[in-house]
């Protein structure tokens, strides 16, 4: 048996998937095929084929050998065809496969052109699905396959549809009205058969629009899809190339759907390491010519530089800048140093050369220091000579790009006069501050989106080190650098010296690390520090001082907070205008890379400690005001504000602990009892309080009593009764000495909760009743409601459901008087519990559903667990177990006693939680709960 026979037998088995069919294809006996394969396995020393009842399968070694053998057979067959036809270099066979869209609408013209150029070449062309086309290449039955896919491009609603674009279409009855997601949910989506790229397009469209479950109708071809849609069966994404006739006849209409449009992508696939036959090489070259993008040549009167490296991302920005220049005479790109204003302006200008017949002219102003030289610099670029620049540009359609104007007051004046005295001139400027002229439209340049930032880093890293491999540290590096292009490029240049993880560690303070940069960059852009300092150096002394003072804040600040450390609103506005600070709603913040420079300068100030003291005292005033709104209608808003200030609160408490300012620290941490409790930050709150309580200091009795009461409550919530009792026992005499009735009421409540934890429910009830009486005397309705809910818990533990109901009903009344909606919802859970225990499932379900609106994570899990219990009692045990699994996952993120411990009846009704529920997010768990309630109606 020779080697060729063995390989031929093996290839037949690999191709046919059975020894019998292989024997039939080779016209030999099955034993002969088996002997050939066995001999081949002995020769290579590997098992190649595994025999089973259902047929045969290739081992990994067999798959490798099959790839080589089938590839050789395909090449040999092509060579034989070419040799048999003569004129060997010019003729042969082109074996080609394509998926539906390319095969039906894009390739026919190219294939026709190929036939004209090479009439002797035999063409084997098959259309199938994308998966089918790829399989033909894998089996070496086709040399090339052309498959289509879909991507979601940037916002292009204002742009005309490209000829090769995929669009969403519907029947004429839909007209041209703009459709919203709720309209689309009522329609059937028409797709092609399973495996087609169109089905993927439908899924992408639905995901983009945020649609839930919609009906689908699968059809086998584009023509069937178009006919079904025209007849009103639904809507579909279809190739624009295929729509000309239908659109002109009015059989279909393009739907105006916000936020979605798809564009086709085309890919050519070939077998790895297989040399193409001459016909395939020629077809590939012809295909490249047919789909080559048109290169825009800059007109001779434009002086834009060739882009040294391609712009990464920014497609949305380029479209929006072009749109602004159609409606505004002056557009200024603003942003902090390193945000990529110059590169974005150059890319936008290069795209617009066709729109400005008389050219796009770049005037670089960074080197200038004298504002009086601006006009001369522009005149030199436009070739004004002895004329004024307005006269030189009169009647011309020209875009003038003024790069880096922030330090030259004269630039604004010249730009204003230029557009006022010409008809068609536009100005595109880059500056850290706006020009502040009437004709100006401002366009802030934001940091890159995460995906683009990562792509930029990887591209620049590969340029620095071709062996670079990205890992999980790269997104973290980009986030640490605020996704600023300059910072990312400078960091990527360091990958030859540091692995990404090492670089991330060194970027704890990025300014010293990010030095170097391309030698042809301006000096101010060769280090991140210089890019930031360039902006700071242009500030007036008063604003530069404010820039440093604001570094005392962490995580942002308000205008009121800025005043507390000596920065007025005028300086704030100047810093925002200078791109050194950002305003987001009512708060201000700095990018971390900018704040680092500010913080360095802050640390060098002689008054740094005094400013930290002012910052901590401002936080103290904020905490006291937040306390005054606790357990009332304004509590949710103040909890949200406190969460926003959490970084500043932590900074102030750190400073108090370092400086031994026990009284101020305890006042802050104690006043935030509602925040620690409502947001289930029990451990963090207690961790902040305990070291401050251990400091020696002259803390007023009332301040220490309040802090002790807060610490005790947090320890109690964590189930640590001994630690809680220690704090409460110390707090009670202090509160009475300070005649602080409210703190006394809180301590009595705390002692009652400790007694309950220790099993003495009679004492617990006595203490809670005393706490309730104090709160009622003070007119604190929300606090009274809370004590009533605790008394309801005690009654439930005693098995007295009627007393439980009475306490919770009174609790709802007191919370309602205070306008405390969260408190009302918490007590409603108690009433739902009573209904559940009394087998009134309809009433329990109604009450539990009200609690799904509860915004408190610690409370919401009770309602979800209750709904799971109701669903289980109604027979829906599988999804009830899944929901209880989600509750377990949500509880793992909170410092709280598990619901199943507090409500064992819920766990008994459901049984073992389903671990699959642990993958659900909070919103998905709520959605599942609502679905379970709807099933039971």
Read off the pLDDT of residues 437-469 as tens digits, 9 standing for 90 and up: 888 888 888 888 888 888 888 887 887 777 777
3-class DSSP state for residue 146?
Answer: strand
Among the residue ranges 3-17, 553-567, 649-663, 919-933, the one predicted with the least confidence is: 3-17
Could you tell me the maximum CA-CA distance found in the chain, to the nearest angstrom? Answer: 113
**Alpha-carbon gap, residue 766 to 786, rounded angstroms:** 15
Q: Is the dihedral of CA 340, 344, 347, 353 positive or negative?
A: negative
Could you tell me if 714 and 686 are in contact, meaning their C-beta atoms sit under 8 angstroms apart? yes
156 forms bridges with which residues in the sheet? none
**Alpha-carbon gap, residue 726 to 774, rounded angstroms:** 22
Q: Is the dihedral of CA 295, 300, 302, 305 positive or negative?
A: positive
655-694, pLDDT tens digit by residue? 999 998 999 999 999 999 888 888 778 888 988 899 998 8
Packed helices 450-464 and 485-492: angle between N→C axes, nearest 10 degrees: 30
Q: What phi-psi label fits residue 753: left (phi over 0), alpha (psi between -120 and 50 degrees) or beta?
A: alpha
Question: Which structure tokens are listed for 773?
Answer: 């009486």
Could you tell me if 843 and 831 are in contact, meaning their C-beta atoms sit under 8 angstroms apart? no
Which residue reads 């169109």 in tokens?
198
Within 10 A of 716 (CB to CB), how many other CB atoms are there? 24
**Alpha-carbon gap, residue 667 to 624, rounded angstroms:** 8
Question: Which structure tokens are listed for 264?
Answer: 């086709």
216 forms bridges with which residues in the sheet? 189
Question: What angle is formed at CA 217 by the lines to CA 215 and CA 220, rounded to 5 degrees?
Answer: 160
Percentage of residues of the chain with pLDDT beyond 70: 82
Closest CA to 575 of 611, 600, 550: 550
51-73, pLDDT tens digit by residue? 765 567 788 788 778 777 776 76
Burial of 585 (0-12, 13-18, 19+ CB in 10 A): exposed
200-258, pLDDT tens digit by residue? 667 767 766 667 667 778 787 777 888 888 888 888 877 665 666 677 777 888 776 65
**Alpha-carbon gap, residue 50 to 18, rounded angstroms:** 11
Question: Which structure tokens are listed for 210?
Answer: 């945020």
**Alpha-carbon gap, residue 867 to 832, rounded angstroms:** 10
Q: Is the dihedral of CA 138, 141, 142, 143 positive or negative?
A: positive
3-class DSSP state for residue 242?
Answer: helix
> Tell me, what's the pLDDT at 912?
85
Q: Answer whether residue 367 shows pLDDT above 70.
A: no
What per-residue string of b and e applies to 16-47 under the rule 16 or more CB within 10 Å gives b? bebbebbbeebebeeeebbebbebbbeeeeee
**Alpha-carbon gap, residue 791 to 540, rounded angstroms:** 62
Question: Which structure tokens are listed for 8?
Answer: 């031929």
124 forms bridges with which residues in the sheet? 95
**Alpha-carbon gap, residue 233 to 225, rounded angstroms:** 9
253 forms bridges with which residues in the sheet? 170
3-class DSSP state for residue 255?
Answer: coil
Within 10 A of 843 (CB to CB), how many other CB atoms are there? 15
Closest CA to 575 of 606, 597, 543: 543
- Per the prediction, the chain carries an average pLDDT of 79
Across 751-760, average pLDDT: 84
Across 360-374, average pLDDT: 76
Q: Is the dihedral of CA 694, 698, 701, 704 positive or negative?
A: negative
> Tell me, what's the pLDDT at 522?
46
493-508, pLDDT tens digit by residue? 667 667 778 777 766 6
Q: Answer whether residue 896 shows pLDDT above 80.
A: no
Question: Which structure tokens are listed for 705?
Answer: 């009593």
Please give the full DSSP string across 557-570, using - where no structure is assigned.
EEHHHHHHTT--HH
Which residue reads 């024997």 in tokens?
23
Could you tell me if 790 and 823 are in contact, meaning their C-beta atoms sit under 8 angstroms apart? no
Phi/psi for 482 (5° steps) reads 60, 20
> Tell me, what's the pLDDT at 79?
63
What does DSSP say about strands 399-403 and 426-431: parallel, antiparallel, or unpaired? Answer: parallel
Could you tell me if 130 and 99 are in contact, meaning their C-beta atoms sit under 8 angstroms apart? yes
Q: What phi-psi label fits residue 167: left (phi over 0), alpha (psi between -120 and 50 degrees) or beta?
A: beta
> Tell me, what's the pLDDT at 108?
82
Could you tell me if 102 and 287 are in contact, meaning their C-beta atoms sit under 8 angstroms apart? no
Helix or strand (DSSP H, E) at 900? helix 899-902
Closest CA to 921 of 860, 848, 850: 860
Q: Answer whether residue 510 shows pLDDT above 70.
A: no
Sorting pLDDT into bands at 50, 70 and 90, what band is 613?
A: very high
């Amino acid at each position: 048996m020779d080697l060729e026979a063995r390989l031929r037998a093996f290839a037949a088995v690999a191709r046919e998937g059975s020894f019998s069919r292989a024997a039939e294809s080779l016209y030999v006996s099955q034993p002969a095929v088996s002997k050939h394969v066995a001999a081949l396995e002995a020769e290579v020393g590997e098992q190649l084929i595994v025999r089973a009842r259902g047929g045969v399968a290739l081992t990994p070694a067999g798959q490798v050998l099959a790839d080589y053998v089938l590839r050789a057979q395909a090449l040999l067959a092509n060579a034989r065809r070419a040799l048999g036809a003569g004129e060997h270099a010019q003729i042969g066979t082109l074996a080609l496969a394509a998926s539906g869209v390319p095969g039906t609408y894009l390739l026919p013209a190219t294939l026709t052109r190929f036939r004209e150029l090479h009439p002797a070449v035999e063409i084997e062309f098959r259309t199938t699905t994308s998966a089918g086309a790829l399989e033909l290449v894998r089996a070496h039955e086709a040399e090339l396959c052309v498959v289509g896919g879909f991507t979601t491009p940037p916002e292009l609603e204002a742009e005309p549809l490209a000829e090769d674009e995929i669009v969403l279409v519907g029947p004429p009855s839909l007209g041209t009205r703009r459709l919203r997601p709720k309209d689309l949910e009522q329609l059937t989506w028409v797709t092609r058969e399973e495996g087609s790229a169109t089905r993927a397009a439908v899924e992408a469209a639905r995901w983009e629009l945020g649609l839930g479950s919609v009906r689908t109708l699968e059809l086998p071809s584009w023509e069937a899809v178009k006919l079904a849609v025209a007849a009103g069966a639904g809507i579909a994404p279809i190739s624009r190339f295929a729509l000309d006739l239908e659109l002109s006849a009015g059989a279909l209409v393009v739907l105006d759907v916000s936020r979605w449009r798809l564009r086709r992508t085309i890919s050519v696939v070939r077998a790895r390491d297989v040399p193409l036959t001459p016909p395939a090489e020629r077809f590939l070259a012809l295909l490249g010519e047919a789909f080559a993008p048109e290169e825009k040549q800059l007109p001779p009167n434009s002086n834009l530089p060739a882009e040294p490296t391609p712009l990464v991302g920014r497609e949305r920005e380029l479209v929006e800048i072009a749109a602004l220049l159609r409606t505004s005479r002056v557009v200024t790109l603003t942003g902090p140093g390193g945000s990529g204003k110059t590169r974005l302006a150059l890319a936008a200008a290069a795209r617009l050369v066709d729109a400005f017949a008389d050219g796009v002219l770049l005037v670089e102003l960074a080197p200038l220091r004298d504002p009086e030289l601006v006009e001369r610099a522009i005149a030199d670029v436009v070739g004004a000579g002895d004329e004024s620049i307005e006269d030189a540009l009169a009647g011309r359609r020209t875009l003038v790009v003024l790069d880096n104007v922030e330090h030259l007051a004269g630039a604004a004046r010249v730009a204003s006069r230029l557009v006022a005295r010409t008809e068609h001139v536009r100005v595109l400027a880059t500056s850290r501050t706006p020009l502040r002229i009437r004709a100006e439209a401002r366009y802030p340049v934001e940091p890159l989106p995460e995906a683009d930032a990562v792509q930029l880093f990887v591209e620049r890293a590969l340029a620095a080190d071709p062996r670079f491999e990205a890992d999980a540290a790269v997104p973290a590096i980009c986030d640490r650098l605020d996704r600023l292009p300059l910072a990312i490029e400078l960091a990527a240049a360091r990958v030859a010296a540091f692995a990404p993880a090492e670089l991330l560690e060194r970027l704890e303070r990025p300014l010293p690390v990010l030095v170097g940069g391309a030698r042809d960059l301006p000096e101010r852009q060769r280090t991140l520090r210089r890019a930031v300092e360039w902006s700071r150096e242009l500030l007036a002394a008063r604003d530069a001082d404010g820039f440093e003072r604001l570094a005392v804040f962490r995580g942002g600040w308000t205008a009121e907070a800025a005043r507390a450390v000596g920065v007025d609103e005028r300086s704030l506005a100047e810093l925002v205008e200078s791109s050194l600070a950002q305003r987001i709603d009512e708060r201000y913040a700095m990018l971390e890379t900018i704040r680092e420079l500010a913080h360095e300068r802050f640390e060098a100030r002689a008054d740094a400690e005094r400013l930290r003291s002012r910052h901590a005292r401002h936080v103290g005033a904020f905490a006291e005001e937040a306390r005054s709104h606790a357990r009332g209608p304004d509590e949710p808003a103040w909890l949200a504000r406190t969460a926003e200030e959490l970084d500043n609160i932590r900074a102030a408490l750190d400073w108090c602990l370092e400086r031994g300012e026990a009284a101020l620290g305890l006042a802050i941490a104690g006043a935030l009892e509602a925040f620690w409790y409502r947001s289930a930050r029990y451990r963090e709150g207690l961790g902040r309080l305990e070291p401050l309580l251990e400091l020696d200091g002259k803390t007023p009795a009332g301040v220490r009593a309040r802090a002790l009461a807060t610490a005790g409550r947090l320890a109690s919530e964590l189930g640590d009764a001994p630690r809680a009792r220690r704090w409460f026992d110390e707090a009670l005499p202090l509160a009475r000495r300070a005649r602080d009735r409210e703190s006394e009421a809180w301590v009595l409540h705390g002692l009652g909760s400790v007694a309950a934890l220790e099993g003495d429910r009679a004492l617990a009830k006595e203490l809670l009743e005393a706490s309730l009486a104090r709160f009622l005397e003070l007119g604190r309705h929300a606090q009274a409601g809370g004590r009533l809910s605790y008394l309801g818990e005690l009654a439930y533990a005693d098995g007295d459901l009627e007393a439980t109901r009475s306490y919770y009903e009174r609790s709802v009344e007191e919370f309602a008087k205070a306008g405390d909606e969260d408190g009302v919802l918490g007590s409603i859970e108690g009433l739902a519990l009573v209904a559940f225990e009394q087998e009134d499932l309809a009433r329990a379900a109604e009450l539990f559903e009200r609690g799904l609106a509860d915004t408190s994570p610690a409370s919401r899990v009770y309602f979800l667990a209750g709904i799971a219990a109701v669903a289980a009692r109604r027979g829906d045990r599988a999804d009830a177990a899944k929901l209880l699994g989600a509750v377990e996952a949500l509880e793992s993120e909170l410092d709280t006693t598990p619901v199943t411990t507090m409500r064992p009846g819920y766990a008994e009704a459901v049984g073992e939680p389903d671990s699959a529920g642990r993958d659900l997010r909070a919103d998905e768990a709520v959605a599942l709960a609502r679905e379970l309630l709807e099933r039971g109606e």
